[in-house]
Amino acid sequence: MKKDEPFNPSSKSIDIPNGISFRLANRDDCNAITNLMAERNPAHAVSQLLSNTKRELDRLETDSNYKLYVAELHYEIVGFCRFFS
């Protein structure tokens, strides 16, 4: 899926792979999250994306309404999502 891609009702999800897990992100995940952001936002400087990721990880400690989760498959971070409550 591309960034801001229009909804396509004929597009179907694939089955969730065995071994995938989801957890709250932590500081050790910073580079992996930044790399995923860079893949989706190639026009942005990696240094700025790294700074943004660090700021989001800091926010986990100060804002109880904000969560940042990562998806791991075989000990590799393959995705992330943000949650606001």
| Per-residue model confidence as pLDDT tens digits over 3-42 | 677 888 887 777 888 989 999 999 999 999 999 999 988 9
Alpha-carbon distances, residue 62 vs 28, 54, 57, 68, 81 (angstroms): 18, 13, 10, 13, 18
Q: Average per-residue pLDDT in the chain?
A: 91
Secondary structure (3-state) at 36: helix
- For residue 59, give the DSSP letter: H
Q: Is 71 exposed, middle or buried (0-12, 13-18, 19+ CB in 10 A)?
A: middle
pTM: 0.79
What is the structure's pLDDT at 2? 63
User: Which structural domains are found in the chain, ordered by start?
Assistant: 21-84 (3.40.630.30)
pLDDT in tens, 67-82: 999 999 999 999 999 9
- CA atoms of 21 and 37, how far apart (whole Å): 19
